[in-house]
Amino acid sequence: MDDASQQPPDSLSGLPLKPRLALLHYSAPPVTGGVESVLGEQAGRLAAAGYDVRMIAGRGDGELLPELDTAHPRVRRLFRELLAGRGSETEFRELSSTIAGSLQPLLADRDCVIVHNVLSMPFNLPFTAALLASRRRLVAWVHDVVIRDDDGSPVESVNYPFSLINQRQPGVSYVAISETRREDLRRLWREPEAKAEVVPNGIDSQRFAGLSRKLMGLLSPIPVDRAWPLILIPQRVTENKRIELALAAAAQLRQRLPRLTVLVTGPSDPHSHQGELLSQLLRRRQELGLNGTVYFLAEQAVAGRAHPINADDIAMLYRLSDVVLLTGRAEGFGLPLLEAALSRVPVVCAALPVFQEISGGEIYPFPVSGDPASIAEALLKALDTVVARGRRHALQRYSWPVVMEQLEAVIAGAVAARGVAAAP
């Protein structure tokens, strides 16, 4: 194998270029499927992170080789024959050789080849054999293992070519998408301590919440994907809203909640002291050391233009948030309580009679006098629910920024490893 990992340094930075990658599967987006979705996310996010990414599949986008597709007539027929125990060894070798010849120029300059499911599933075993013969650094990304329907145990076969997926292959780095799937691999291999990393699938909280591209752009300076909790204040910046109390409460909670993020959506009051209160709050934020914790969307407003977000955007932000915080001292109604209820988001607010009336008492109140300690305590209570804890777990373990760190570590380890896949 040529050592493709010995890349020249970037002429501008003097640093080594990031590894050149190939990502492979039977099919790629826009083909619909769970594996295809993860493949597309990995490819897009790795490219955005500065990697040279080549996506290779039998169908969909990317570099297309029809014989990689499990729906290819020749592949499908041979698969059925192999399952029936009457596949032609000659035809298997010919198809594998054809695939290997097509892959060679696409993989020759790649430092690491990430293969989704092809090294653990039997749907195109000539493809599996061709990859193992490529002498490249392979990472087998295991979404699925062939499982028996009756007792859930892996299907074992030592016979070639099924042995390619049912036995651990030398020089291949294995990654399972869950602890459960890793244990399936180990049972299949009969190696209870066999090395296999676990890197889960990721979730994009902004996309799941239905955020528009415009809103994602506005939020790009804010680490919402890593925020926990994300506290939403869907109100104008006015003296009556007492947003300075939110700042003081955030200062008390920041050490306990290091990824705390507070987002104030509203503009400055257009009727009085325009801009002055916002300037005071920004200075107070600086004094409290909250510049990376509290964000005002009013800071992104352009003079003479409308506020950068509208009611539809705020509805999306409710779905992204963990808690809604209302610090106002007096209200005649309380529409944010209804909006939060429809979004299934808890509300922390002053114990105003109108808030009790509108919410039916389903709020986390603090005294109207509004001391920061009582607000902080109410926020902690609102966050100590099954829903809030579940969201925290999802973000801490499965958000794409977290998963990307693990993915990049796997790539670095595979590139640094000396071994390569052995020919079957």
Enumerate the domain spans of the chain. 20-202+400-416, 205-397
DSSP 3-state of 114: strand
Q: What is the mean pLDDT of residues 62-82?
A: 96
Report CA Rg, the chain: 27
**pLDDT tens digits, one per residue of 131-151:** 999 999 999 999 999 865 556
Q: Average pLDDT over the chain, rounded to whole?
A: 90
The top-scoring range by mean pLDDT among 212-216, 350-354, 376-380 is 376-380
Q: What is the mean pLDDT of residues 168-183?
A: 96
Give the separation between CA 419 and CA 3, rounded to whole angstroms. Answer: 11
CATH topology of domain 20-202+400-416: Rossmann fold (3.40.50)
**pLDDT tens digits, one per residue of 287-331:** 999 999 999 998 887 655 778 888 889 999 999 999 999 999 888
pLDDT range class, residue 2, cuts 50, 70, 90: very low
pLDDT range class, residue 420, cuts 50, 70, 90: low
pLDDT range class, residue 41, cuts 50, 70, 90: very high
Here the tokens at position 90 are 């000659």
Q: Residue 100: CA atoms inside 13 Å, Cβ hemisphere, count?
A: 19
Residue 281, number of CB atoms within 10 A of its CB: 20
Q: What is the mean pLDDT of residues 27-54?
A: 97
Q: What is the mean pLDDT of residues 176-205?
A: 95
Q: What is the mean pLDDT of residues 85-109?
A: 95
Q: What is the mean pLDDT of residues 114-141?
A: 97
Give CA 27 to chain center in angstroms: 21
pLDDT at 153: 62
Q: Is the pLDDT of residue 5 over 60?
A: no
Q: Which residues contact 40 (CB under 8 A, 6 or more apart)?
A: 28, 29
Percentage above 70 pLDDT, the chain: 89
DSSP 3-state of 36: helix
pTM for the full predicted model: 0.83
Q: What is the mean pLDDT of residues 21-50?
A: 97
Q: Is the pLDDT of residue 191 over 60?
A: yes
Number of residues that this document lists for the chain: 424
Domain 205-397 belongs to what architecture? 3-Layer(aba) Sandwich (3.40)
DSSP 3-state of 197: strand
Q: In what order do the strands lie in the sheet with 323-326?
A: 294-296, 261-264, 230-233, 323-326, 347-350, 364-366
Q: What is the mean pLDDT of residues 281-290?
A: 96
Pairing status of strand 112-116 against strand 138-142: parallel
In degrees rounded to 5, what are phi and psi of residue 179?
-60, -40
pLDDT at 1: 42
Q: Is the pLDDT of residue 96 over 70?
A: yes
Percentage above 90 pLDDT, the chain: 69
Q: Is the pLDDT of residue 422 over 70?
A: no
Among 161-175, 297-311, 395-409, the least confident range: 297-311
Same fold? 20-202+400-416, 205-397: yes
**pLDDT tens digits, one per residue of 363-376:** 999 999 889 999 99
